[in-house]
Chain A
Amino acid sequence: MSKRKTVIHSIKRIVKSPYMLLLPALLFYLLFWLLPVVMSIFQSFTTVDGTPTLQNFINMFNESRFMRALINTLVFAVVSLTLQFFLAILLALLINKKFKGSRLFLFFMIIPMALPQAAVGILWNTGLTEAGWLNSLFHVTGLQTVLESLGVLDGRTLWTNVTGTRAVMTIVLIDTWTVLPSVMIIILAGLQNFNRELSEAAQVFGASRGRAVKDIVIPIIKPSIVTALLLRLIAGLQVWLISVMIFGYGRVPYLLERVVYYMSVVARTDANYRMAVSYSVFTLFVILTVAFLFVRLTSGKTEWRKADE
């Protein structure tokens, strides 16, 4: 009798234990996250019948577009991050004032980031053709005439007539259009919070504005910036969709573009699936490595600064 009671009691205790609330999450991540990750790593190192092999990765390294895909991905991530970060800081410093309509301004700045990537693809697809809106804009604003008389342009620009790194840069610019405004408002928000402290500090120490920015502002707003940059970096390494919408598959390869290519463009054969899995595991590896390096690099500097103090 009492034994049964203790059994019931302990069941009750287990059911009522706070850990039970974590169980669904645990199950979820086991089934939908850990399992696929482990599975893809396993599959990338085995053949179809399960014997271990490195052949999948050898095939991947030998794939004609592998090197370009890797280089393009890294170039895109690094260049877009750097460009967006510095442009955003520059703009934020220039605009760092309270002005009439600043709320409305912030409102507009959020728009590009809210746009679904597929829509951004359509937007720039209509823009970059020879008779597209970008050339139209150049034309109606007179910019075309100015640039032509300076000898910079000769007739309408063929924006998509680019290959290699220049094609990557085209996508970097589109990405910058999408992301820059919101990077800027984050920095702006940080700046305006600390504006008063900045000017006080600058007055006290008699420092130049540039020095004050470097020594005071950046360290203060750094933590939130670092997280944001990390997220941007990870997102940058996942570029492919807009590029495919502008240039199509294969012309400007990226790592994930290759994954999608082997998963959904070519026939679904075992060989193609192994190729997709290998690319996908490799992409994951690249993302984790770069993210790790980034965290080490930034937190390392922070420690160094502390030690200096």
Chain B
Amino acid sequence: MKKLFTAFVLVLGIFLIVGCGEREETPELVIVSNFGSQVAEQELYRQELFAPFEEEHNVEIRFEQLGHSDAFNKIDVEQQTGEHTVDLLISHFGNMIYYLEEDYMLDVSQLEADMDDRTFITTFDANTHMNDTRYFFPINADVYVTIANLDALDDLPGDLTEADLEAGNYTWDDYVEWGNNMEGHKVFMKALPDGQLLYQIGGMALSHGGTFPKMDDAGNIRAWEQVLAMKDAIHPESINNAAGEGLLLDDSVYLAFEHMAVVASTYATAPAKYGVYPGPLGDDGKAGSIAGGHGVGIVNNAPNQELAEKFIEFMTSEAKIRHAALGTIPTIEEAELGDDPEDFVLEIALDTIANANVEGLQMIPDYSDFSAVKGVYDDIYEGIMDGSIDEENLVAKLEEAQSDLEDLYIGD
């Protein structure tokens, strides 16, 4: 028993020493972010943005990646209790309105005027501004593109070649046929419940001339019919995964129409193993994609406001903005591009945003509960996968779903 106690004290002691080793007091810049959920992305942030900034300003950066509701709760609590810890907020364009309505963000017009060496794109001004005052700076914009394992090229339908894919010269019907040609379940759908399925479907529908979010217009019906047509090719584990990276990595899936950040980080793990292509063409003769993105702003009463401003200046500079954008589209006109594998994905994305049917996410606040909107899409998908929705009743189900969607609408 004596030995027991000694061992106990010893282990605890070792942990205390290891844990408390060299803890020194440097100011801490706290960033709460909806962006950068992938570990590889956080790694990139640390390497390209945080480490150099920390060194230059003798500060420690704490990056907290949180979903929207967690992030909002956190800032909400801090603003109400007056215990401020968060300095910077990186928010999705669609969620900025929640902070602006509560007046939780700092007016950064002056900072914008000071940074006269850069011009921010104006695509998302409706989100980043309120009453013509700037509260957020856009740091990235993103679209969906196609990624495929090169082994899958053998299964290309008809006389399609890789050159066609590279030129974006293939349709959603080709994509479906391609997936069905592969042995097993080799296509990834973004099907995690309450996840991003609707953006993938939305992109398909936009390419067919449909609108978003909508269930029963011609473009959306076409999109769902194509999901139904490749049902057997879809990997069932799609429903457990927020992103296709893990499944692509272990060759469980070969083909995905994915968010470009996921595509970039997957592609970077083995650039010679994957091909990245613009999204497929729809009935409209164009590719389609939902475009999102994030912006950075300073929280009211931030403990380190001055450092926060410096950090924004640093992260949106022409040399750094492409890292801030994490392999998605950088948001100042002067941005430098590099020649990393990720930058290859970027070129394709730039092409998409220039030529495809693209739609932003400014409508999120028009719905009482956007995760319920996601749920409407999830239900149709689940119905298709468990066989309860087939060619016969698809349209009827979509019409039902449309009325659910309208019940959630609170905009004008």
Residues of A within 8 A of B (CB): 129-131, 155, 158, 160-161, 163, 246-251, 264-268
**Residues B69 and A248 in contact, CB atoms below 8 Å apart:** no
| A248-B236 contact, Cβ under 8 Å, with A265-B69, A266-B371 | no
Q: Using an 8 Å CB-CB cutoff, how does the interface string of B43-75 with A read, 1 for contact, 0 for none?
A: 000000000000000000000000001101100
The distance in angstroms between the C-alpha atoms of A130 and B238, with both chains bound, is 11
List, in ascending order, chain A residues with CB within 8 A of B69's CB: 265-268
Give which listed residue, B192, B236, B250, contacts A161 with CB less than 8 A: B236
- B269 interfacial by beta-carbon distance below 8 Å: no
The distance in angstroms between the C-alpha atoms of A16 and B236, with both chains bound, is 68
B interface secondary structure, majority = helix
Q: Which residue of B lies closest to A132 (CB)?
A: B250
CB distance from A250 to the nearest CB of B (A): 5
Residues of B within 8 A of A (CB): 69-70, 72-73, 76, 184, 192-194, 235-237, 239-240, 246-247, 250-252, 371, 386
List, in ascending order, chain A residues with CB within 8 A of B70's CB: 264
Ordered by A's residue number, 29 sampled pairs between the chains whose C-beta atoms are within 8 Å are: A129-B237, A129-B252, A130-B235, A130-B237, A130-B247, A130-B252, A131-B250, A131-B252, A155-B184, A158-B236, A160-B237, A161-B237, A163-B386, A246-B240, A247-B240, A248-B193, A248-B240, A249-B194, A250-B193, A250-B194, A251-B193, A251-B239, A264-B70, A265-B69, A266-B69, A267-B69, A267-B72, A268-B73, A268-B76
**Residues B193 and A129 in contact, CB atoms below 8 Å apart:** no
**Residues A131 and B184 in contact, CB atoms below 8 Å apart:** no
Q: Which residue of A lies closest to B68 (CB)?
A: A267
**Residues A267 and B73 in contact, CB atoms below 8 Å apart:** yes
The distance in angstroms between the C-alpha atoms of A129 and B109, with both chains bound, is 49
The distance in angstroms between the C-alpha atoms of A11 and B302, with both chains bound, is 52
CB distance from A162 to the nearest CB of B (A): 9
List, in ascending order, chain A residues with CB within 8 A of B237's CB: 129-130, 158, 160-161
List, in ascending order, chain B residues with CB within 8 A of A158's CB: 236-237
Q: Which residue of B lies closest to A130 (CB)?
A: B252
**Residues B252 and A248 in contact, CB atoms below 8 Å apart:** no
Give which listed residue, B240, B251, B371, B386, contacts A131 with CB less than 8 A: B251
The distance in angstroms between the C-alpha atoms of A126 and B69, with both chains bound, is 28
List, in ascending order, chain B residues with CB within 8 A of A161's CB: 236-237
The distance in angstroms between the C-alpha atoms of A267 and B236, with both chains bound, is 29
| A129-B72 contact, Cβ under 8 Å, with A161-B237, A247-B240, A248-B240 | no
Extra A-B contacts (5), CB below 8 Å, given A131-B250, A248-B192: A129-B250, A130-B250, A161-B237, A247-B240, A267-B72
List, in ascending order, chain A residues with CB within 8 A of B236's CB: 158, 160-161
CB distance from B408 to the nearest CB of A (A): 15
List, in ascending order, chain B residues with CB within 8 A of A246's CB: 240
The distance in angstroms between the C-alpha atoms of A211 and B193, with both chains bound, is 53
CB distance from A245 to the nearest CB of B (A): 10
List, in ascending order, chain B residues with CB within 8 A of A267's CB: 69, 72-73
List, in ascending order, chain A residues with CB within 8 A of B193's CB: 248-251
The distance in angstroms between the C-alpha atoms of A251 and B240, with both chains bound, is 10
List, in ascending order, chain B residues with CB within 8 A of A155's CB: 184
List, in ascending order, chain B residues with CB within 8 A of A130's CB: 235, 237, 247, 250, 252
Q: Which residue of B lies closest to A131 (CB)?
A: B250
CB distance from B188 to the nearest CB of A (A): 12
The distance in angstroms between the C-alpha atoms of A267 and B252, with both chains bound, is 34
CB distance from B168 to the nearest CB of A (A): 30
- Residue of B235, B237, B252, B371 most packed against chain A (CB within 10 A): B237
Q: Which residue of B lies closest to A268 (CB)?
A: B73
List, in ascending order, chain A residues with CB within 8 A of B250's CB: 129-131
The distance in angstroms between the C-alpha atoms of A158 and B237, with both chains bound, is 8
- Residue of A131, A163, A264 most packed against chain B (CB within 10 A): A131
The distance in angstroms between the C-alpha atoms of A130 and B241, with both chains bound, is 13
The distance in angstroms between the C-alpha atoms of A13 and B240, with both chains bound, is 65
Q: Which residue of B lies closest to A161 (CB)?
A: B236
The distance in angstroms between the C-alpha atoms of A264 and B69, with both chains bound, is 9
CB distance from A108 to the nearest CB of B (A): 20
List, in ascending order, chain A residues with CB within 8 A of B192's CB: 248
Q: Which residue of B lies closest to A272 (CB)?
A: B69
CB distance from A133 to the nearest CB of B (A): 11
Q: Which residue of A lies closest to B76 (CB)?
A: A268
CB distance from B181 to the nearest CB of A (A): 17
List, in ascending order, chain B residues with CB within 8 A of A268's CB: 69, 73, 76
The distance in angstroms between the C-alpha atoms of A161 and B247, with both chains bound, is 14
CB distance from B137 to the nearest CB of A (A): 26
The distance in angstroms between the C-alpha atoms of A161 and B385, with both chains bound, is 11
The distance in angstroms between the C-alpha atoms of A214 and B240, with both chains bound, is 45
List, in ascending order, chain B residues with CB within 8 A of A247's CB: 240
Q: Which residue of A lies closest to B251 (CB)?
A: A131
List, in ascending order, chain B residues with CB within 8 A of A266's CB: 69, 371
Q: Which residue of A lies closest to B72 (CB)?
A: A267
CB distance from B186 to the nearest CB of A (A): 11
